[in-house]
Amino acid sequence: MAFKSKKDKFANLLINISQNLKEGADHFADYKLKNVSDLKVFSDKMKEFEHKGDSFVHEVIKELNNAFITPIEREDILALAMSMDDVLDGLEHTAALFEMYSIINADEYMLKFVDAIKECAFEIERAVDDLSSKKLKDIREHAIKIKDLESVCDGIQRQSIKNLFTVEKDPIRIIQYKEIYENLEEIADYCQAVANTLETIVMKNA
């Protein structure tokens, strides 16, 4: 069936989730950490994005429980909302790790991860907008880009950990950086899960 128009309440809620995710990813990527005190501000702001995303997801669940008919299958609406929420949760958790470990200088690998994730969030937002406009054929292109970016992140993770064990001598730093690399790669995996969900929706509704 697909969404009739952008006025559909589920379309609006999914758009809200995707826009909040994009804004959160942009903030995560663009915020400049100058000193340790900035980490608390950074982490708190990401927590705000995460709380806002949760409220949208709760609204989706409430509307699904009340709706007699939905524009696409209920489980697909919920899966899309939850998979986007996982991405934002991952970003918030990683911001908390930066604060916990007092890391203000992201290395080149972290920056590459974050650039790719920011681009994924942009593609997700565009795909959800296309879904609300019933441009199902265009969604596939965004999903492919997201999957390509996830593959890039796989490579970054391998390079980052190899470099970490080669150049870093402080065992505590190794543990901290490895955890952050793994979290960032996991966020890319969450983005791929969004792409998979979008492709499932296209396949069912084309």
Q: What is the pLDDT of residue 4?
A: 52
Q: What is the pLDDT of residue 134?
A: 87
Rounded CA separation 196/121 (Å): 14
Higher pLDDT, 70 or 53: 53
Would the pTM count as exceeding 0.95? Answer: no
Quickly state the pLDDT bin for 67 (edges 50, 70, 90).
confident
Quickly state the pLDDT bin for 2 (edges 50, 70, 90).
low
pLDDT in tens, 114-156: 999 999 999 999 999 999 988 988 999 999 999 999 999 999 9
Percent with pLDDT over 70 in the chain: 97
| CATH 1.20.58.220 assigned to 9-205 | yes
Residue 206 pLDDT more than 80? no
Alpha-carbon torsion, ordered 57, 62, 63, 67, to 10 deg: 140
Residue 6 pLDDT more than 50? no
Rounded CA separation 50/42 (Å): 13
Q: List helix spans (H) across the chain.
A: 9-30, 36-66, 74-100, 108-132, 136-167, 171-205
**Contact (Cβ atoms closer than 8 angstroms) between residue 117 and residue 74:** no
pLDDT in tens, 153-200: 999 999 999 999 999 999 999 999 999 999 999 999 999 999 999 999
**Contact (Cβ atoms closer than 8 angstroms) between residue 3 and residue 131:** yes
Rounded CA separation 127/83 (Å): 14
- DSSP type of residue 3: -
Rounded CA separation 178/198 (Å): 31
**Contact (Cβ atoms closer than 8 angstroms) between residue 138 and residue 130:** yes
